[in-house]
Structures are given as structure tokens and as C-alpha cells.
Amino acid sequence: MLEYEAVLTRREHLDQIGVTIEEISLVLDALAAIAEPVTMRFLWRPQLKDPADEMVLETAVNGRADHLATFNLRHLVSAARAFGIHAAPPGAIWREIRRTTHEEK
């Protein structure tokens, strides 16, 4: 959550998407309300070139994620794949989830 807040409240991102810090805070509060804590049982370091990205991968692995929504594909795709996790941009994952949900109906 701290990483989301740090990135989303950068002035260049706020200006790019046209929202205020208060609006970002509302989104982050809603996300925090539904997020499930993940216990870090195993550390898998080092897997990535950027040490700051290790916690993202470890959280996905320890949380038994099927998908990892990220714009950081360059660093995370191959490492996530090694753990059976599909890393893709958030929009692509959202479309995949919607398509799967509609196929089940």
C-alpha cells in the first residue's frame, strides 16, 4: 500500500490522470478495505535486477497469486512466470477476468 501511495501521489502522475491526492486517497482506502494480508513465509531473493521489486514478487508468490497486475513488465514477467504467475498490465488482467467471468455464465 505504501508503494501504491508513493507512486500514485507523484505530481506527474496526478497531472497525467487528472485527479487530486484526495481522490487517490479514496481509492487507496477502498483498496485497503478489501485487501487480504499476506504472510511472508518464504523469501525468494534474489530473483530480480531491481531489489525494490523483490517484495512485489514475494508477495505474489506467498499470496499464491495467479495474476500479477503491473506496469513493470520488463522486471517482473519472466520471474513471475517461473512461479506460475501471469504478469500483465492491469487492463489486460481486468479484461481476462471479465472474459472468464462472462464465459462461466
What distance in Å separates the CA atoms of residue 33 and residue 55, rounded to the nearest whole number?
Answer: 21
pTM (global) more than 0.85: no
Task: Record the cell numbers describing residue 30, joined without a space.
Answer: 477502498
Q: Which of 17-26, 36-45, 61-70, 83-92 has the least mean pLDDT?
A: 36-45
Per-residue model confidence as pLDDT tens digits over 5-29? 998 899 999 998 899 999 999 999 9
Residue 76: pLDDT over 80: yes
What distance in Å separates the CA atoms of residue 35 and residue 40, rounded to the nearest whole number?
Answer: 15
Per-residue model confidence as pLDDT tens digits over 31-51? 999 998 898 887 778 888 888
Residue 86: pLDDT over 90: yes
What distance in Å separates the CA atoms of residue 15 and residue 21, rounded to the nearest whole number?
Answer: 10
Alpha-carbon separation of residue 56 from 28, 93, 105 (angstroms): 17, 17, 33
